[in-house]
Structure formats: C-alpha cells, structure tokens
C-alpha cells in the first residue's frame, strides 16, 4: 500500500493563525477498468485530524465517498453543504469543484473511503485557486 500526505489547513482557535495539519491519505487499491478504456478505479482512505480541511480542488473523476468514522462536511460548487456521518455517502462528478471538504469536528478525527473512476495515471487531486 502506498502512503501519501495531503496538506490540510485549519484555523487555530487560539489567535486565529493559519496552521498546517496533515491528513493521512492512503491508496488502498488501483486497478485498470476492463475493456482497455484507458480508465482506472482507485480506492483511497482519508483520515482528517480534528479541524482538518482540504483547500478547494477537483478530482477530474467520478468520486464516491463513504464515511467510516467521525463526521465530515462536503460541498461542490453550486451544491448544498452536507454533513455526513458514518455509513453515509457523497458523490462528486468529474467536472465538479470540491469547495468544502473538512472534518466537522475540532476534537475528534474523521475517516472515509473514496472510490475514484478516472483516467489512468491522472492525479487523485488537483488544487483549484
């Protein structure tokens, strides 16, 4: 299994200063889709520390999220902000801009699995400014 770290940002409660925290992002599986389509499915597990969040980004993929532990908040540009609990799911399309992806708690970690159907070799996440 590959391990990678994604930088996440959160506001420190004391003083309002911007600090960097790391989310643990672990690739669980990556397989070519059948039929020689040039596409693959990649499964990753993301663990947010308390208060952890990702900056706006896109996946250029179909992304299916399944929450394992804690609670997370998700929103795509033009969509509603949703709070997800263990057992709940979220979908993001290939053209969506993921404007909110964060741990809903400042005291407990959160963990979720993401299944991505994407072009073979394409990055899992692309930051958006």
45 lies in some domain: yes
Write the pLDDT tens digit of every residue in 97-117.
999 999 999 999 999 999 999
Q: How confident is the model at residue 18 (pLDDT cuts 50, 70, 90)?
A: very low
63 lies in some domain: yes
127 lies in some domain: no
Q: Is the pLDDT of residue 15 over 80?
A: no
85 lies in some domain: yes
128 lies in some domain: no
What is the H or E stretch that residue 47 is in? Answer: strand 39-48
Per-residue model confidence (pLDDT) at position 49: 96
Q: How confident is the model at residue 84 (pLDDT cuts 50, 70, 90)?
A: very high
129 lies in some domain: no
Q: Calculate the alpha carbon distances from 15 to 9, 19, 41 in Å.
A: 15, 11, 42
51 lies in some domain: yes
Write the pLDDT tens digit of every residue in 20-71.
466 889 999 999 999 878 999 999 999 999 999 999 999 999 999 999 999 9
With contact defined as beta carbons under 8 Å apart, do 74 and 125 qualify? no
Strand, coil or helix: 81: coil
Q: What is the CATH number of the domain that holds 67?
A: 2.60.120.10
Range with the lowest mean pLDDT among 18-22, 74-78, 118-122? 18-22
15 lies in some domain: yes
**Parent domain of 74:** 2-122
Per-residue model confidence (pLDDT) at position 3: 37
Q: Domain tally for the chain? A: 1
């Amino acid at each position: 299994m590959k391990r990678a770290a994604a930088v996440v940002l959160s506001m420190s409660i004391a003083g309002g200063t911007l600090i960097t925290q790391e989310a643990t992002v672990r690739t669980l599986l990556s397989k070519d889709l059948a039929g020689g389509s040039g596409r693959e499915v990649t499964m990753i597990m993301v663990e947010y520390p308390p208060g952890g969040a990702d900056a706006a980004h896109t996946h250029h993929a179909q992304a299916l999220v399944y929450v394992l532990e804690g609670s997370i908040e998700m929103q795509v540009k033009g969509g509603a902000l949703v709070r997800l609990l263990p057992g709940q799911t979220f979908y993001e399309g290939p053209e969506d801009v993921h404007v909110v992806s964060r741990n809903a708690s400042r005291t407990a970690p959160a963990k979720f699995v993401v299944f991505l159907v994407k072009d073979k070799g394409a990055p899992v996440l692309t930051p958006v400014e």
